[in-house]
């Protein structure tokens, strides 16, 4: 059984950055093989970890529904979809990457989504860890997979509004009836000392607080220079914090 880590949060909260640094930790500590899934329609996880991808599930399904792709005679829709989904998978040493892509446009995807759920269930069994960078609300992912989540990390920025958004997202996870074993809060881009009013709001949100990641110039510089976050040095304060957090959950997995 794979250990599934999902990261959620609205845009601008460091969600993809956190996901990339979790992958960095796993790779550097030989917690492999890893399946990285970018389930955010605004897909940029691949760039953040230095992997080039050519296609997405959404793009392929859109083409299929618009009849621009023909299913070979004698092949079932399920076999055809699974064959093409595996071709979309980008394979690298110790880590494979799958991009779900943007919403596919008009049309009924019920049958395809059912096949996707089966595909994800079989695919995930081939990996020690599955890491998912989610869209803000996770509806896109929940339509396509019944994958259980062992660890769900909610990311917030350093604002009361950000914390209220996390509370709404956590309630949405319950509404979607996603199977989540543990959920926690991480706050990104903070000063070294957190304001008392902010910490009171953290308590009101009611999600266990794992810690805060203070502003890190190395993160800013890596983005400007196009350096993958998996190549951040150990001296990065953000790397140190995410490594500290992940040690609590994955060292014995």
On the 0-12 / 13-18 / 19+ scale of CB atoms within 10 A, 110 is exposed
CB 52 within 8 A of CB 90: yes
Q: How many residues does the structure list for the chain?
A: 253
d(CA 84, CA 77): 11
d(CA 101, CA 98): 9
Q: What pLDDT is recorded for position 105?
A: 57
Entry pTM: 0.92
pLDDT digits (tens, 9 = 90+) for 70-104: 788 888 878 888 898 889 999 999 999 999 887 55
The ranges assigned to domains in the chain are 3-250
Residues 3-250, CATH architecture = 3-Layer(aba) Sandwich (3.40)
d(CA 61, CA 66): 9
pLDDT digits (tens, 9 = 90+) for 156-215: 999 999 999 999 999 999 988 889 999 999 999 999 999 999 999 999 999 999 999 999
């Amino acid at each position: 059984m794979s250990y599934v880590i999902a990261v959620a949060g609205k845009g601008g909260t460091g969600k993809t950055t956190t996901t990339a640094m979790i992958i960095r930790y796993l790779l550097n500590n030989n917690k492999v093989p890893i399946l990285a899934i970018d389930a955010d329609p605004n897909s940029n996880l691949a760039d953040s970890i230095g992997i080039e991808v050519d296609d997405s599930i959404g793009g392929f399904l859109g083409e299929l529904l618009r009849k621009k792709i023909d299913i070979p005679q004698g092949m079932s829709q399920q076999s055809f979809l699974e064959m093409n989904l595996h071709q979309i998978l980008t394979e690298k040493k110790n880590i494979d990457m799958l991009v779900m892509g943007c919403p596919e446009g008009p049309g009924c995807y019920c049958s395809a989504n059912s096949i996707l759920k089966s595909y994800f269930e079989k695919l995930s069994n081939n990996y020690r860890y599955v890491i998912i960078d989610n869209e803000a609300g996770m509806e896109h992912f929940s339509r396509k997979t019944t994958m259980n989540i062992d660890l769900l990390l909610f990311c917030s920025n350093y604002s009361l509004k950000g914390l209220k958004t996390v509370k709404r997202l956590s309630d949405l996870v319950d509404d979607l009836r996603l199977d989540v074993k543990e959920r926690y809060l991480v706050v990104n881009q903070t000063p070294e000392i957190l304001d008392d009013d902010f910490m009171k709001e953290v308590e009101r949100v009611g999600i266990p607080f794992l810690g805060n990641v203070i502003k890190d110039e190395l993160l800013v510089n890596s983005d400007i220079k196009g350096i993958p976050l998996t190549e951040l040095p150990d001296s990065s304060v953000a790397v140190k914090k995410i490594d500290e957090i992940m040690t609590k959950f994955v060292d014995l997995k």
